[in-house]
Amino acid sequence: MATLFKSLAVFLEKVEATKKRLEIIAIAADFLKSLDAEDVEPAVSLILGRAFPKWSQKTLDVSWTTLSGVLQRITDVDWSVFHEAFAHTGDVGAAAKALFEKTNVQRQTLLQDETLTILEVRRLLDAIASATGAGSREKKERLITTLLSQASPVEVKYLVKIFIGEMRTGMHEGLMEQAVALAFNVPLAAVQKASMTLGDIAEVAAMAKVGGKAQLEQLGFQVFRPVKLMLAQSADDVAEVLAQHGGKTAFEYKYDGARVQIHKRGGDVRVFSRRLTDVTRSLPEVVKAVKANVNASEAILEGEVIAVDHGGRPIPFQHLMRRFKRIREVQDTAEEIPVALYLFDMLYLNGESLISLPYVQRRRILAENAGGIPLTKQVITDRKEEAEAFLKEAIDSGHEGLMAKKLDSPYTPGARGKRWFKIKPVLEPLDLVITAAEYGYGRRHEWLSDYYLAARDAVTGEFLNVGKTFKGLTDAEMAEMTKRLKALAVHEERNRVFVLPRIVVEVTYNEIQKSPKYKSGMALRFARISRIREDKTAEEADTIEKIKHIYEQQFAKKGKYKTE
């Protein structure tokens, strides 16, 4: 029998009310065991706030304006109820629930006979994503109305969270991996390895339900299914890296570009961004270069794409982002903003996964298969002076700094560890999310131009403000930012507009201070937006934990106040 969506919503309510990790894992394991096999993947995806499997390129593409309009029409309740609830909770889903709790008794009576299942929710979400072209907005509105009209208040709460992509219940992928292992009696290591390979714990859960450990151990990479990227930690200087790696290290240029994952099978090539979004149509030169140079029948490669001038010198990152957003008239944009591709890793070759091999061996295999495509410039050394000279050379060439990779490091998809480091010569910028904005003064009075900046709490998923700035964007960028923020607005309070946490910006600053002004307890001094990170999602924003670490590191070279 298909599982009711309400049981999933009630489960999520329990998770939100539970603070202990082991209790959350146990509750989740019990819920997973209760599901039919066909319900597992959609249920896990929905629990993690995703409408579709992680590899899917489908998007709901529903604006807050559309969603809020449907909420108002269905409930016919004064919208001040929503604003009051949002002001109290700061949670859009909880505010929508409050709205539906106020709606008429007749609707509640009709709902008693409704049986909205997990599979029906997935079917309707799929139909919403498939509505494109002329009349698509009206069709989406009808489908959203159909879905929400069948939902009780608690179901509405989590459906809205799925629509806006902000689940924030405390259940994240790491806990879900542990719950899957417990539910289906599979070793955690096997679940984690399968999750890294497939890049989607929801699909892994479905396989564990049906085939257990044996099925998970048979998993391998699938071409055209993007793999979660291995991530790097930050290091202050080359000396720190050499001490950590304890010997020779591969230092490579860190380009001011966009990381891409390239999949090839026969004559078909697809390019995925660091967000695992298909950007093939935006980068025809990359496709052409891979087809012409990589002779392997099947391959998954990683590289960096940078924007260059017509002399081949790197130009700022924001110009590259224009290429990634362009899917029409690509040829004209390609002539205006050429790109260069540098490869640095190979994960899969002709049916064989390479991720367990040492990095230096993967690099050698990459060099043998890259043809004429250049690899990231590299030196391997254990000498501090040589590494520092290479860092200076990278900076002088217009690049950001260096990557440092342990020679024997395997590739660990989705993991961030000390095998890879990134080294920048200045105080490292932070990637933060805009949570609210205020209208400016004088010539900026029509623009949302004073931005509240937030970091992510790694445990709860909540975005906590750490500062505010009106500096860094051009007039044109502020005008465009105002349009984007208004489309994401959920609440207005005098001159301030609260928005869904969607837009990531890179922020420079002079110092991090303790501050009672913000719930985070931290504040950036002299914050300034240096660029808009179109290539990053809010989930990839920097964490409060990282900011606290940087705060502590500041005192390596200067003292603390005695009160701290």
557 catalytic? Reply is no
Q: How far apart are CA 514 and CA 405, in angstroms?
A: 33
Alpha-helical (H) ranges within 446-511 are 475-488
DSSP letters spanning 101-140: HTS-HHHHHHHTT---BHHHHHHHHHHHHH--STTHHHHH
Find the catalytic residue in 161, 228, 254, 264.
Answer: 254
Under 8 Å between Cβ of 262 and 286: yes
- The pairing of strands 416-423 and 231-235 is parallel
Query: Coil, strand, or helix at residue 381?
Result: strand
Could you tell me the two tokens for 449? Answer: 């131009």
Q: What is the three-class DSSP state of 224?
A: coil
Closest CA to 498 of 454, 529, 444, 536: 454
Q: How far is CA 193 from the centre of its chain?
A: 20
Per-residue DSSP letter, 382: S
- Map tokens 């700061």 to a residue: 90
**Ramachandran region of residue 76, left (φ > 0), alpha (ψ -120 to 50) or beta?**
left
- Tokens 């139909």 map to which residue? 127
- Distance separating alpha carbons of residues 226 and 54, to the nearest angstrom: 9
Chain centroid to CA 417: 18
Q: Which residues on adjacent β-strands are paired with residue 352?
A: 349
- Helix, coil or strand: residue 296: coil
Among all residues, which ones are annotated catalytic? 254
